[in-house]
Amino acid sequence: MSEPNAPPPLEITNLDIEQDLALEFVHVVEEAAIASARTMGQGDPPKSDQVAVQAMRRAFERVSIDGTIVIGEGERDKAPMRYIGEQVGLKPPPGVQYPKVDIAVDPLEGTNLCATGASNSIVVLAASEPNGLLHAPDCYMEKIIAGPACRGALDLDAPVEENLRIIASCLERDVSDLTIVVLDRPRHAKLIQSIREAGARIRLIHDGDLSAGIAAAIRGVGVDAVMGSGGAPEGVITAAALRCLHGEMLARLVVNTPELEERVAAMGIRDSKRIYTARDLAPGKKIIFAACGVTQGALLNGVRFFGEGCRTHTLVMTRSLNKVRFVDAIHLQRPPGPRGVRLY
């Protein structure tokens, strides 16, 4: 019970989510990436996921926020996860309130990739002001993801060949020049056949459609679009990145069981057949997206260990500031030898 004449809590409202917290979230994904990278190639996916979650949780304890996890990864594959509704952030001193932030995380995108030493495993988080990220259920989601040139031009219900023709036209290329990323799953057999019949090239991936979606919005990475169904939580995090990159995304939840219908309704989603844009999935005015490479990838380098510590490569983006930064960091864990720090 508070004192009758006690002053109201001092709320620190002058912190800007994008300007003041971006680097803090870089530290969070770096710590999780370093921890999971130590398990690379050991063939133990649950362990890789678990150490990433634990490292991320510890790192959040040093960030001055009143944070709520609104999207956590792992429910479908029973991996250790950041539970929806979990509170994170530094415990404030008496009489102080930190700014409220909604957070979506994938502590280890591409768990199997890390466990087998394959490329493109990353640690990811997105953050926004409260209600700035859709509280998506952990189900599948149909997606088309492309770069800024395709904004407003695609149709999720159009034939595959029609969307490919539109993408090619927006990029001023032929359909045969396109490279489309698709998750290598039996459910995508018809999609893969349609893309091949249209004449486009396909890059099949085993995991990690989130990193592929980011790559589709960045010129020069070699990905023109992502098609098919993947996780809805990953879709929301991808949408946050695309808001920062001005990319195009259309998506729809795959709700095909009574249990999913009930879960979707319980989360406040009235129309389970709605087609979402990136703005619908991540409507926040202030958005931070941060990703740190765990294993070597097309967009981010993996964690590289050396005698005195390790080196990380992180992407951090903010929406309203229109800034995209790549952070190449050396983490020293013991004093360097007489010849100094090696940058590899």
- CATH number, domain of 244, equals 3.40.190.90
Instruction: Say if strands 179-183 and 87-88 run parallel, antiparallel, or are unpaired.
Output: unpaired
Examine residue 341 and state whether it is found in any structural domain, yes or no. no
Cα separation, 199 vs 14, in Å, equals: 53
Asked if the model's pLDDT at residue 245 lies above 90, the reply is yes
Angle, in degrees to the nearest 10, between helices 189-198 and 160-170: 50
What tokens were used for 273?
């057949």
Nearest in space to 284 (alpha carbons), one of 21, 64, 31, 59: 21
Same domain flag for 211 and 177: yes
Quick one: 327 exposed, middle or buried, by C-beta within 10 A (0-12, 13-18, 19+)?
Answer: middle
Same domain flag for 120 and 174: no
Nearest in space to 236 (alpha carbons), one of 165, 141, 155, 341: 141
Same domain flag for 225 and 199: yes
Strand partners, 182: 204
Q: Domain of 181?
A: 140-281
Please tell me the predicted confidence (pLDDT) of residue 323: 84
Inter-residue contact 200 to 163 (CB < 8 Å): no
Mean pLDDT is lowest, of 3-17, 91-105, 123-137, 304-318, for 3-17
State whether residue 34 is helix, strand or coil. Answer: helix
* 134 backbone dihedrals φ, ψ, rounded to 5°: -65, 135
* 87 backbone dihedrals φ, ψ, rounded to 5°: -95, 130
DSSP string covering 132-178, please? -S----SSEEEEEEE-GGGTTT--TTS-HHHHHHHHHHHTTS-GGG-
Examine residue 165 and state whether it is found in any structural domain, yes or no. yes
Same domain flag for 146 and 275: yes
Mean pLDDT is lowest, of 28-37, 74-83, 255-264, for 74-83
Return the residue matching tokens 């990436």: 33
Examine residue 156 and state whether it is found in any structural domain, yes or no. yes
Examine residue 339 and state whether it is found in any structural domain, yes or no. no
Cα separation, 67 vs 288, in Å, equals: 13
Same domain flag for 91 and 218: no
Examine residue 338 and state whether it is found in any structural domain, yes or no. no
Reported as type and span, the H/E element at residue 54 is helix 45-60
pLDDT-derived band at 212 (thresholds 50, 70, 90) equals very high
Please tell me the predicted confidence (pLDDT) of residue 15: 64
Same domain flag for 44 and 91: yes
Examine residue 154 and state whether it is found in any structural domain, yes or no. yes
Same domain flag for 249 and 314: no
pTM recorded for the entire structure: 0.88
What average pLDDT does this structure show over 24-28?
97
| Angle, alpha carbons 133-135-137 (nearest 5°) | 140
Cα separation, 324 vs 245, in Å, equals: 8
Same domain flag for 46 and 164: no
Same domain flag for 174 and 271: yes
DSSP 338: T
Same domain flag for 194 and 251: yes
Average pLDDT of the chain, as a whole number = 89
Instruction: State how many domains the chain has.
Output: 2
pLDDT tens-digit series, residues 172-203 = 999 999 999 999 999 999 999 999 999 999 99
DSSP string covering 305-337, please? EETTEEEEEEEEEETTTTEEEEEEEEEESS---
* 262 backbone dihedrals φ, ψ, rounded to 5°: -65, -40
Please tell me the predicted confidence (pLDDT) of residue 107: 93
Looking up residue 106, the CATH number of its domain turns out to be 3.30.540.10
Strand partners, 315: 291, 326
Mean pLDDT is lowest, of 65-79, 161-175, 278-292, for 65-79
State whether residue 229 is helix, strand or coil. Answer: strand
Same domain flag for 79 and 65: yes
Please tell me the predicted confidence (pLDDT) of residue 336: 65
Same domain flag for 62 and 47: yes
CB-based contacts of 145, cutoff 8 Å, min separation 6: 212, 213, 216, 217, 225, 226, 227, 238, 242, 247, 248, 249
Examine residue 262 and state whether it is found in any structural domain, yes or no. yes
Examine residue 251 and state whether it is found in any structural domain, yes or no. yes
CB-based contacts of 78, cutoff 8 Å, min separation 6: none
